[in-house]
A = this chain, B = another copy of it.
Amino acid sequence: MARKTGSHSDITGPKIRAEAQRLFARHGFAAVSMRQIAAAVGVQAGALYLYTPDKEALLFDLLRSHMEELLAAWEAEPRGAGARAALEQFVRFHIRFNLTRAEAVFLSYMELRNLSPENFAVIEALRKRYETELEAILKAGQAEGAFLLPDTKLATMAIIAMLTGVNTWFREGGRLSRETVETIYWDMVRKAVGA
Contact = CB atoms under 8 A, between A and B. Distances in A.
A85 interface: no
Interface residues of A, number: 36
Contacts of A162: 158-159, 161-162, 165
B150 A160 contact: no
A143 interface: no
Contacts of A150: 183-184, 187-188
Contacts of A28: 28-30, 113-114
Interface string A103-122: 00000001001100000000
Give the oligomeric copy count: 2
B185 A154 contact: yes
Interface in A146-195: 150-151, 154-155, 157-162, 164-166, 168-169, 176, 181, 183-185, 187-189, 191-194
A3 interface: no
A26 interface: yes
A31 interface: yes
Contacts of A114: 28, 31
Interface of A: 26-31, 110, 113-114, 150-151, 154-155, 157-162, 164-166, 168-169, 176, 181, 183-185, 187-189, 191-194
Given A27-B113, A192-B192, 5 more contacts: A26-B113, A150-B188, A157-B165, A157-B166, A158-B165
